[in-house]
Amino acid sequence: MSTVTQQSLAAAIRSRLLEAADAASSEFHQEDGAIKARHFVVDNVLPVDICMQIYQAFPEDWGQMREMKSLKEHKFTSKSFDTFPQLLHDISLAFQDQEIIRLVETITGIRDQIGDPLFYAGGLSMMGKGNFLNPHIDNSHDSKRELYRTLNLLYYVTPDWNPETGGNLELWDEKVRYRKTISSEFNRLVVMETNPQSWHSVSPVTEDKRRCCVSNYYFSKFPPTEKPHFHVTSFNARPEQKLRRAIMKMDTLARMMIRKVFRVGLGRKDVYQQPGSRD
């Protein structure tokens, strides 16, 4: 078996995207009712054995990941690639290959996109039984507020995953009343536009399995809408969660007020640091 490298992963992804480019472009540009997040789905992104290796490289020890638990979400994330097998680093950065970025530009028509080697809000994600991510809009910019967020690339690697397992990607209308469900199936890539109306969520996982995902974002100096804008990550709640909706609205307003005073926020920037770059 030949060695799997970042370059070989990128080459395989490019090849599959080229095969799927016409269908992906049609899917991305078609009207989809009230759903505002344009998107496309590509299955069988990598050879099955390589995708399985990526899944097996994810930690079995949940303590190796950062737990994020609140009314908004319950999930585990990490961008500390140097603590995991090299394969997780390589597959994550493979999606930032310049030829892949240019190909995604062609498919989506979104110009001058830029990868994010710091993995601001990207990286590795795991969810287990009961974990969820409530409806939200991703924040509009990079950590320095110099570039606009344009696309979210989600690559799912858990074998034998199906809609009944939960953990499905959900795309919502602007008022978060109606949704479209996309199953987080093995070896599937979902590319989703981020804009001020691109509400999305992950439904609760219903089985005792690890839902593993490699996440990337692309950015651009051009805003995704005609009018330049800024917003923090804005959470809502499911239609039946009336009280939580009210709480999330107040939470978003409070965080927006803070960012008006402190342009780049107050918290520590959670970004990928190359080995040896820590103080």
Domains and CATH numbers, the chain: 6-226 (2.60.120.620)
Is residue 186 within 8 Å of 158, Cβ to Cβ? yes
pLDDT of residue 264: 52
Q: Is the pTM of this model over 0.85?
A: yes
pLDDT of residue 73: 96
The rounded mean pLDDT for the chain is 90
pLDDT of residue 1: 40
pLDDT of residue 115: 93
Q: How many CA atoms lie within 13 A of 108 on its CB side?
A: 26
Q: Measure the CA–CA gap between 229 and 145, rounded to whole angstroms.
A: 11
Q: What is the pLDDT along the chain (279 residues), one digit of tens a residue?
A: 458 999 999 999 999 999 999 999 999 999 888 998 999 999 999 999 999 999 999 999 999 999 999 999 999 999 999 999 999 999 999 999 999 999 999 999 999 999 998 898 799 999 999 999 999 998 866 767 678 899 999 999 999 999 999 999 999 999 999 999 999 999 999 999 999 899 999 999 999 999 999 999 999 888 877 666 776 788 899 999 999 989 988 888 887 776 666 655 545 556 666 654 433
pLDDT of residue 189: 98
pLDDT of residue 32: 86
Residue type, 25: S
Is residue 160 within 8 Å of 178, Cβ to Cβ? no
Q: Measure the CA–CA gap between 83 and 202, rounded to whole angstroms.
A: 26
For the packed helices 48-57 and 86-94, what is the interaxial angle rounded to 10 degrees? 120
pLDDT of residue 2: 58
